[in-house]
Structure 1
Amino acid sequence: MRSTTHTGTFLILDDDEVFRTRLEQAMTRRGFDTVGAASVAQAQQIIADHAIDYAVVDLRLEDGNGLEIIDQLRREQPRARALVLTGYGNTPTVVAAVKAGAVDYLAKPEGADEIVAALMAPRNAQPAPPEDPISPDAARIAHIESVFDAADRNVSKAARLLNMHRRTLQRILKRNAEEDDATA
């Protein structure tokens, strides 16, 4: 954990409750006043009620697209710095996020220190290219495994949190375990 303490109101919009709660705790430990939302509607209400300094926004939400929130922040609270953090990244959504007003676009899972660094970077700063980039499939598997671990390795609970069928999750976990055994 960094020793630097930050200030400001930090909105975290993500429908993955486990991930959102962990990120809220991490940002609170860094000194931010955090507020979480699981939906576009909740985030819109929070923006109406609070001055937001920073925001981390997921793209795919049950009631809409996180880019709506990025755009709303740009229009209503132009000093707010927001970034998109998603497991569903592709070039068109990166472009759309930047056009909507996002200062950066990161792939899940990303650590709290990296998120803070992206939000605190000067407006025109160019990030260094990743030394060992993670593939989208590897990022997806890492996210699934972190949710599975957070659900106390309970397949049914993890499947509900991931919004997928239990058998699908079992196949993914089994396939990943077999690939890990083959590379070991």
Structure 2
Amino acid sequence: MKLLLIEDEQSFAGILLRRLTHHGYECEHAETVDKGLVLAKQSLPSHLILDLKVGTQSGLSILPKLRELLPDARIILLTGYASIATAVEAIKAGADDYLSKPVDSKTLLAMLAGDNATEAASDTNIMSPARLEWEHIQQVLKANKGNISATARQLGMHRRTLQRKLVKKPRID
């Protein structure tokens, strides 16, 4: 079982590669989207894990190319910024599954195997609506370089309301 991981965060990639190697996967790692495409063409992996944001690029941009190149591969998109909109976009672009970081080994292995993936994910990766909202706010805040006023305008809410929401970080469950 060949696996290609396209992930720019070195420490996370190292941990993930060790876990997956321990479970029998022959792993390769690319830290850029371009290198990931080259490695995918060369090694033709049976499994692929793709980060949503690889450096300044979006993993979604190469997802259709990867699906065309690897029609039978199991492709999982990982993200630290989970949202329903990106999940739908990822599945439409060719991902088999979508997971939010951090991900536990049991869920990831189930997703890679395609066995009861939805059931395994439901145990650990479902976010409450409040948590999804908080994650989205964080993403918009980052895009606005920390500017609270610009973020509040973009989200269509009062600045003080946004500040109150930022103080309360909801749990994942």
Cα shift at 1:125? 6.5
Query: Which of 111, 119, 128 matches 1:127?
Result: 119
Instruction: State percent identity of aligned pairs.
Output: 30
Whether contact under 8 Å (1:39, 1:63) holds in the other structure is no
Structure 2 match to 1:155 = none
Structure 1 match to 2:107 = 114
With over 3 angstroms needed to count, the CA separation of the structure-2 counterparts of 1:54 and 1:106, relative to structure 1, is: same
Whether contact under 8 Å (1:43, 1:69) holds in the other structure is no
Are 1:38 and 2:31 matched, yes or no?
yes
Matches within 5 A, 1:124-163: 126-127=118-119, 129-130=122-123, 133-134=126-127, 135=131
Matches within 5 A, 1:80-99: 80-99=73-92
Give me the TM-score of the superposition, normalised by structure 1. Answer: 0.64
Does the residue aligned with 2:95 lie in a helix, a strand or coil? coil
Flag structure 1 segments of 5+ consecutive residues without an equivalent. 1-7, 140-178, 180-184
Cα shift at 1:74? 1.0
With over 3 angstroms needed to count, the CA separation of the structure-2 counterparts of 1:87 and 1:136, relative to structure 1, is: farther
With over 3 angstroms needed to count, the CA separation of the structure-2 counterparts of 1:113 and 1:130, relative to structure 1, is: closer
Moved more, 113-122 or 98-107: 113-122
Give me the TM-score of the superposition, normalised by structure 2. Answer: 0.68
**C-alpha distance in 2 between matches for 1:39 and 1:132:** 26
Flag structure 2 segments of 5+ consecutive residues without an equivalent. 136-167, 169-173
Does the residue aligned with 1:88 lie in a helix, a strand or coil? coil
Query: Which of 46, 52, 75 matches 2:68?
Result: 75
Cα shift at 1:68? 2.8
